Structure 1
Amino acid sequence: SLIDCNKKSEVLLWLPTQHMYRFSDNGTPEALLDFIEELTQYKEWKPSDSVWKFINQLKEGFQSCIGNNYFVDNFSIKKDESTVFCLFFFTTHIKGFEKMLEAKWEIDTENGCGWEYTGNIPTLFYEQKTNDLEEKLKVFLKGNKHFNGEVYEFTLRQGYLPKHTNEIFEQWQTQNILNVFLADGSKARKKSFYIKYFQSSNPDNKKVYFELK
């Protein structure tokens, strides 16, 4: 396939998601309907379901179809309330995936997906919010030992960047709820997370591992 070419290919797929989402049974080309149903739970949708749910299901469907050796993400463009288009990005290389995410966050600081991390430190204008990545990291790490390379990949697959995980880990260390160990079991220096790209054969992918208390 195109995406497999020399393990270096990247594919961009532009979809008129708003129109696909709004198709009626009578107006939908059969080939397109088959495509949508293969990737999503299209027949179970209700008129009240949003286009954003549809886009998320498409992304999950693409990932399920091509497997975890590939990376999938999307960037949505909203012209108005009734017009939403979506660009899907596919790659075999994790570093290329990270670069795509960096571009997303640079273009759209609000929904790339909008980053504001205050930890548990109250301020005059503090509003208690649940941070999506923080909650996912808690589930990922709880009761398991994961190395820095695994956390790097996990972070990207959630649509976030290494710097976001680093912010959370720094806060967790301050709260004394995160342990960081070198591969030999000795304690790592504070803020030594190594959440970044290393070639797959590089032993630094297992430089440190993390445990939640």
Structure 2
Amino acid sequence: MSSKGVSTKDVLQDHSQAKVKLYTDYLSLYLSILGNTPHLERIWLFDVLCGEGKYKDGAEGSALRGLRTVLAYFTSTPRTKVKLNVRLNDWGQSDVDPKQKKIQRVEEYASTIPLPQDKVTVRYSCSEYDTMLEEVCTTLKSIKSTEKSLVFIDPWGYKSIKPQKLMDLFSCNRCEILLFLPTTHMYRFANAATIDIAEEKVPACFLPLKSLLQELFDNAVPRFQRFEEFESELLQRLQEKIGAGYKSSFMLETASRNKYSLFFFTPHVKGLDAFNQACWNLDKEAGKGHIHRKNPGQLTLSFNGSEVEHINQLRSFIKLGQATNRQIYEFGVVNRRLTKSTHAALNHLRERGEVTVEAQDGKPVPKNANYLDYKPKREVLFKYTG
């Protein structure tokens, strides 16, 4: 979809459609995994700035697509005992119909989705971003150990993003965060001379961005040679500020070649595993990004994946010392690989005689059996033999 002559506020453009798909693909996996978790009673889902609901071109945004994902889960799993609390919020007037507020349009369209009322509670609100985040923090501080939460933050720009607020959200240790940011704009600003001049001389529109970068980089924002270098360092800094155990990102490119990033933070490797799966659903070459479609029939993805690269990664990891199947599972997940890809790489090394495997129970390990999982049914040890 071309952006020429089209408002990015009232039409869901190609990169935003990819963003919503990534969000809902992950949400589907998230519900499926947690729905099978023993003793889990309730999931909290927050779409902090959920947008219009439905746009001029008929496309549905995160709020409606999210609810349809919720409906699909409960339809396919009618016996689940898990309850779901959904909070949809946006404070602005609609860009599609200025006579209505955005959240009014969301509620109007959402009311047609037949959610099971005994299992799903949806609340709508029209709070400004800072106020809404405070309410989310208050809720998360009170949730029980039998509850989990997912917070999706898609701000218009970066003006309200405060690392401390994100850290407050994450501190309950039962929260995952999806954060959408305009990284090309941030990259250009980080490399501009503006970042070093006195605050009173910076144009007012750039002050929030200057403040955000300085907070993330402790008032010493370096220059970056490549966008990818900046995005990686930005992700690392956000992880450190938030206090997240695991992190990842997915790049989304617009028609004008500007890049946005969907950053993901979770306290659990299983959450990262599910996010990887959602990323690979969109980018089947490398699971890292989405390039703008040049025409409706063409879907171009960002990076050229390499099985050889993963084999080399895994070889180097095992060379450092013997590794258990649980450790190799996590190594693959942290490196944004699907477990089936790590399994294939490991089999390649075993077939070449570079790696041997021994079971802790002393029994033989069948060919191609690696038991890669968070909680494997057998513990085995892999050793590099060269």
Shared fold (TM-score greater than 0.5)? yes
Residues 1:53 and 2:229 are matched in the alignment: yes
Aligned residues: 189
Separation of aligned partners in 2, 1:173 and 1:81:
46
Q: Please give the secondary structure, in 1, of the residue aligned with 2:265.
A: strand
> Structure 1 residues 140, 63: CA separation in 2 closer, same or farther (over 3 Å shift)?
farther
Separation of aligned partners in 2, 1:137 and 1:158:
10
Aligned partner of 1:189 in structure 2 is 366
Q: Please give the secondary structure, in 2, of the residue aligned with 1:154.
A: helix
Encode CA deviations 1:156-205: one digit per residue, 9 max, x unaligned.
Answer: 1111111111111111122111101101455522112111232xxxxx47
RMSD: 2.4
Higher relative contact order (CA 8 A, sep 6+): 1
Residues 1:4 and 2:164 are matched in the alignment: no
Match for residue 37 of structure 1 among 214, 217, 233: 217
Match for residue 153 of structure 1 among 327, 330, 354: 330
Aligned partner of 2:188 in structure 1 is 22
Deviation at 1:42, TM superposition (A): 3.4
Separation of aligned partners in 2, 1:182 and 1:38:
47
Q: Please give the secondary structure, in 2, of the residue aligned with 1:42.
A: coil
Deviation at 1:65, TM superposition (A): 4.4
- Residue type of the partner of 2:187? Y
Separation of aligned partners in 2, 1:35 and 1:74:
20
How does 1:158-169 map onto structure 2 within 5 Å?
A: 158-169=335-346
How does the TM-score come out when normalised to structure 1?
0.78
Residues 1:207 and 2:386 are matched in the alignment: no
Q: Please give the secondary structure, in 2, of the residue aligned with 1:88.
A: strand
Aligned partner of 1:121 in structure 2 is none
Q: Please give the secondary structure, in 1, of the residue aligned with 2:270.
A: helix
> Structure 1 residues 188, 95: CA separation in 2 closer, same or farther (over 3 Å shift)?
same
Residues 1:62 and 2:238 are matched in the alignment: yes
> Structure 1 residues 139, 63: CA separation in 2 closer, same or farther (over 3 Å shift)?
farther
- Residue type of the partner of 1:176? G
How does the TM-score come out when normalised to structure 2?
0.45
Separation of aligned partners in 2, 1:111 and 1:161:
10
Q: Please, which runs of 5 or more residues in structure 2 have no aligned partner? A: 1-167, 195-201, 289-303
Aligned partner of 2:58 in structure 1 is none
Separation of aligned partners in 2, 1:19 and 1:141:
40
* Contact 1:76 1:86 survives alignment (8 Å): yes
Deviation at 1:76, TM superposition (A): 0.6
How does 1:119-134 map onto structure 2 within 5 Å?
A: 131-134=308-311
Q: Calculate percent identity across the aligned residue pairs.
A: 28
Q: Please, which runs of 5 or more residues in structure 1 have no aligned partner? A: 118-130, 199-203
> Structure 1 residues 21, 153: CA separation in 2 closer, same or farther (over 3 Å shift)?
same
Aligned partner of 1:79 in structure 2 is 254
Separation of aligned partners in 2, 1:101 and 1:19:
25
Deviation at 1:51, TM superposition (A): 1.1
